[in-house]
C-alpha cells in the first residue's frame, strides 16, 4: 500500500486479492463492513462521541453516502457524481456538514495480476478557501486508517 500527497491532493493505492467487481462492491455496498465509523463519523467526532448506527452507500448516479446516527438522524457525507462499475466512481465529498463546498474523491479499480489495483484520490480542497489547509491536514491523517481498513476487509 502506498500514500502520496502533492499540493492539496491525497492519493492512496493498494493491490487487493479480489476481482474489480468484488473490490468495487465492498467499497460501495459493503462500506459499513470496513469504514471505521466508530472513530471517523460525524456522530463520533462532532456529536456525542458515540459510533453511529451505520454507514449507507446508495449506489448509482446521484446516490448518497451518509451515516445514520443512533438518534435516527442522518449526516450527509457525499453524492455519487460518476458511477462506472466495476472500474471507477467519483464522490462529491463534504469534509464536514458545514463545509461551503464539496471536495472530490475518485476511486479506480484496475485489474492487476490476480487481483485489483485500487487507486483513491481525494482532491479539490481549494474550494474550501481558508479552511482548505486544515481539512487537507485532517484527511491526510485520517485516510491511512480508513483505506487500510478497506484493504484488510478485502483480504478476509
Question: DSSP letter string over 55-119?
Answer: EEE--STT-EEEEE-TTS-EEEEEEEEEEETTTEEEEEE-SSTT-SS-EEEEEEEEEETTEEEEE
pLDDT over threshold 60, residue 5 = no
pTM for the model? 0.92
For residues 32 and 105, give the distance between their C-alpha atoms in angstroms, rounded to a whole number: 18
For residues 1 and 145, give the distance between their C-alpha atoms in angstroms, rounded to a whole number: 12
Answer for the pair 119, 10: CB distance below 8 angstroms, yes or no.
no
pLDDT over threshold 80, residue 2 = no
Domain over 2-154 is classified CATH 3.30.365.10? no
For residues 21 and 16, give the distance between their C-alpha atoms in angstroms, rounded to a whole number: 12
For residues 80 and 94, give the distance between their C-alpha atoms in angstroms, rounded to a whole number: 12
- What are the pLDDT digits (tens) for 125-137? 999 999 999 999 9
pLDDT at 91: 98
Q: What is the mean pLDDT of residues 26-31?
A: 98
- What are the pLDDT digits (tens) for 39-83? 888 877 776 677 889 999 999 999 999 999 888 989 999 999 999
Amino acid at each position: 500500500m502506498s500514500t502520496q500527497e502533492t499540493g492539496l491532493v491525497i492519493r492512496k493505492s493498494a493491490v487487493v486479492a479480489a476481482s474489480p467487481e468484488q473490490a468495487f462492491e465492498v467499497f460501495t455496498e459493503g462500506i459499513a463492513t470496513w469504514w471505521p465509523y466508530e472513530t471517523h463519523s460525524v456522530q463520533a467526532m462532532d456529536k456525542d462521541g458515540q459510533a453511529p448506527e451505520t454507514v449507507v452507500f446508495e449506489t448509482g448516479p446521484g446516490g448518497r453516502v451518509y451515516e445514520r446516527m443512533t438518534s435516527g438522524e442522518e449526516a450527509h457525507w457525499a453524492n455519487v457524481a460518476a458511477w462506472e462499475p466495476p472500474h471507477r466512481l467519483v464522490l462529491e465529498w463534504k469534509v464536514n456538514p458545514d463545509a461551503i463546498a464539496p471536495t472530490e474523491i475518485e476511486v479506480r479499480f484496475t485489474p492487476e495480476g490476480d487481483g485489483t489495483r485500487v487507486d483513491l484520490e481525494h482532491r479539490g480542497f481549494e474550494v474550501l478557501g481558508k479552511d482548505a489547509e486544515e481539512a487537507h491536514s485532517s484527511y491526510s491523517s485520517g485516510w491511512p486508517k480508513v483505506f487500510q481498513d478497506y484493504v484488510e476487509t478485502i483480504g478476509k
